[in-house]
Each structure stands twice: as C-alpha cells, then as structure tokens.
Amino acid sequence: MTAIETVVDRSVTEALETMMLIRTFEEKSAALRAANLSPNMCTSVGQEASAAGVIKNLREDDLILTNHRSAGHLLARGAEPGRIFAEIMGKSTGYCKGKSGSLHISVKELGVVLTSTIVGGELSLAPGVGLSLSMSKSDAIAVVFFGDGAATEGIFHESLNLAAVWNLPVLYVCENNQWQAYVHRKETMLADHVSEFARAYGVPSKTVDGNDVEVVLDAARNAVDYVRTMRKPYLLETYTYRVRGHMEPDDQAYVDKEELASWKRRDPISLIQSRLQRDGELTQDEIDVMWQRVQQRVEDAAQFALDSPYPGFDEMTTDVYA
Ligand SMILES: Cc1ncc(C[n+]2csc(CCOP(=O)(O)OP(=O)(O)O)c2C)c(N)n1
Ligand SMILES: [Mg+2]
C-alpha cells in the first residue's frame, strides 16, 4: 500500500466514525424529544455521508454556513455533542448559551458562521462571507449547505449568480434529500438535479451519490481544490434521502413506503461498513468498538445536557442584537 492510499483509507474510516456519531446523536435527539426531554428538531438520518464527506476535506480556517438540519455538519466539524444537545434544550452550556435552540447555532471557534432556519437564509449570506475572505486575501473558502427546497427559491439563483460574477470562493453544497418539509421534491422541481441550474450561471457543478461516503470524499476534495485555487464558486449536489421525518416527532404518513424502503436499503453507513469489511480494512470487532465508542460519547453528552442549568435572567439581554 502506498503512502497516499494509507491516507485515503484512514480518511474513510474516520468519516465512517463521524457518520456513526451523527446517526447516534440524531437518534438520541429524537428519543429525547419523544420522551419530552427536548424540543422539536430536524434530524439528518440517512444524509450522514454528505456532512462527513464534505467537511473532512475542509481546513480549520474555512467557514461554514448551514441550514435547519445542521447537527451533522456541526458534529463533522468537531463540535461537542453535549454542547449541541444543551443548545437544543436551551441550556446555558450550549454553544449559544441556549439562545439559538437547534435552528440558529453558530460556533465561532469552529468557523460555523450560521445555522439558518429561514430556508435559503444561508444562501443569502454566503456571498458576503466569500467576499470577506477575498478582501482579507485569505485562501480559505466558504462552504454553504442547503436543501433542494432552498434551491427552488429565488435567493439560490441570486446567490449563485453573484458568487459567479464576483469570483467568490464559495462551495455550494446542495443536499438533495428528496423532501422539502412535507412536500416531495418532484412536486416543486421538474429537473432531478439541482446541479443543472448552475450551468446557466457559468458555475461548474456535479451531482454525486450522496449515500456513498467515498464518492462524496472524492468529489468534495476536487470541489474544495477548485474553489480554493480558482477563487470561484462550485456547486456540489449530494443526492441522498431524508430517512426520518421533517421534524421530530413525525409519523411520515405522507411518505411512499416503497421509496423509503428502497433508500433504506442503500443506508450510507451499512454501505461503507460492508465495503471496508469486504476489503479487509476493518473487522466486525473493530466496527463494534467504533459503535460502542460513539454510543458512550452520545450517552455522556445527553446526560451532560440534561444535568446542565438553564441560563439565568441576567443572560436574557446578553449577546442579542437590539
Ligand atoms: C423562507 C422559509 N419558508 C418556509 C419555511 C418552512 N420550512 C422549514 S424547512 C422547509 C423545507 C426545506 O426543504 P429543503 O431546503 O429541501 O431542506 P431539508 O428540510 O430537506 O433539509 C420549509 C418549507 C422556512 N423555514 N423558511
Ligand atoms: Mg430537501
């Protein structure tokens, strides 16, 4: 095995553990919600390969903007699960001292500029973040995660066009998970792929299998290189599926059972686990140890958040814009 192959293999195993962490975190979040210990929130179960595959390719000084389905992006970036749980629960130990809930988390030390619950809000700010990087002569890039629903809004087109015209170092990552809240993508878009829109603005783009983390790692590496060296935007579409409901709790009565089952058969975590086992990269025992490690981490994190205090009244007017 060459040195380069060793690096690639390690990045795949690391990405797998990140995906396990996201899955375990999201399922615990849903369980806490079901037990009325935590408020409503959106999970990214089924989409873990997109978050892990893209974010593993970023540098520490790159900046991230994301949407309401952001826990996976935060965890892939190295956020502490306990501080995310605490934020969702409104506790003082959360990343924004409990003021953001799940829908507005930003983490300055991790370069996470924004979680926007205004669909497309992240797209409206991305060119500005890209412009600030250009003006500071940094070779860092901005990455904006958004959904297929956001791509049907006008702001997506304005954002992409402006980034193209002004040569802004923004990587657009559309997580096309087939759903836009309770509306199927096919009801709002004639095209299957959001990447097709980019051509009209002169922006290179690619759609990849968003459930195959090796494919995402590879495509994101090329996309990040392009944006970093060319100082121009690129659109990467990760074609995937939102396996749980839009927002917990959700009985998914509106979901086609066959479609859901067919995507579950392509579960991104099972896919890479089987491949790594088949190729002799990981044994079942090693996989079990990885699951145990993330499960313990998530249990400890949830307990940390549950045990944390709510902010005091003196916190009510700090860190807020008036
Ligand atoms: C401007 C705006 N319109 C509507 C909503 C309600 N809403 C929240 S999430 C969502 C669906 C977004 O779909 P998509 O962009 O594909 O993201 P996904 O939820 O699939 O990750 C909608 C319509 C909102 N939050 N903001
Ligand atoms: Mg969607």
Q: Fill in the amino acid letter for 86.
A: A
- CA 55/CA 52 separation, integer angstroms: 5
How many Å from the N-terminal Cα to the C-terminal Cα in the chain?
Answer: 58
- Which run of H or E residues covers position 49? helix 48-55
State the closest ligand 1 atom to the C-alpha of 242, by its place in the atom list counted from 1. Answer: 20
Q: What is the C-alpha to C-alpha distance for residues 142 and 129, in angstroms, rounded to an integer?
A: 7
The pLDDT profile of the chain, 322 residues, written as one tens digit per residue, is 444 444 446 799 999 999 999 999 999 999 999 999 999 999 999 999 999 999 999 999 999 999 999 999 999 999 999 999 999 999 999 999 999 999 999 999 999 999 999 999 999 999 999 999 999 999 999 999 999 999 999 999 999 999 999 999 999 999 999 999 999 999 999 999 999 999 999 999 999 999 999 999 999 999 999 999 999 999 999 999 999 999 999 999 999 999 999 999 999 999 999 999 999 999 999 999 999 999 999 999 999 999 999 999 999 889 887 7
Strand order in the sheet with 234-239: 112-116, 63-67, 142-147, 170-176, 234-239, 205-209
CA nearest neighbour of 50 among 253, 262, 290, 242: 242
Q: Which residues line ligand 1 (CB under 6 A)?
A: 68-69, 117-119, 147-150, 177, 179-181, 242
For residue 260, the SS3 value is: helix
Q: Give the integer Cα–Cα distance in Å for 149 and 210.
A: 17
What pLDDT was estimated at residue 321? 78
**Is 0.85 topped by the overall pTM?**
yes
Half-sphere exposure of residue 2: CA atoms within 13 angstroms, side-chain side: 3
Name beta bridge partners: 248. Answer: 41
Greatest CA separation for the chain: 59
Give the pair of three-digit tokens for residue 23: 């899955």
How far is ligand 1, taken at its centre, from the CA of residue 153, in Å?
A: 10
What are the structural domain ranges in the chain?
20-241+250-293
Spatial separation of the C-alpha atoms in residues 199 and 32, rounded to whole Å: 43
pLDDT at residue number 9: 62
Between the CA of 173 and the centroid of ligand 2 the distance, in Å, is: 12
Per-residue pLDDT at 2:
46
The token pair that represents 1 in the structure block: 């095995």
Query: What's the CATH superfamily of 20-241+250-293?
Result: Thiamin diphosphate (ThDP)-binding fold, Pyr/PP domains (3.40.50.970)
Task: Return phi, psi of residue 60, to 5°.
Answer: -60, -30
Residues 154 and 162: beta-carbon distance below 8 Å: no
170-176 and 142-147 beta bridge pairing = parallel
Mutate to test the pocket of ligand 1, among 43, 65, 118, 119 (most ligand atoms within 8 A of CB): 119
Tell me the C-alpha to C-alpha distance, in Å, between residue 310 and each of 46, 205, 315.
Answer: 32, 44, 10
C-alpha 151 to ligand 2 mean position (Å): 9
Output the pLDDT for position 10.
Answer: 77
Give the model's pLDDT for residue 8: 47
Ligand 2 centroid, distance to 92 Cα (angstroms): 31
Q: Rounded CA gap, 172 and 126, in Å?
A: 9
Of the ligands numbered here, which is closest to the C-alpha atom of 182?
A: 1
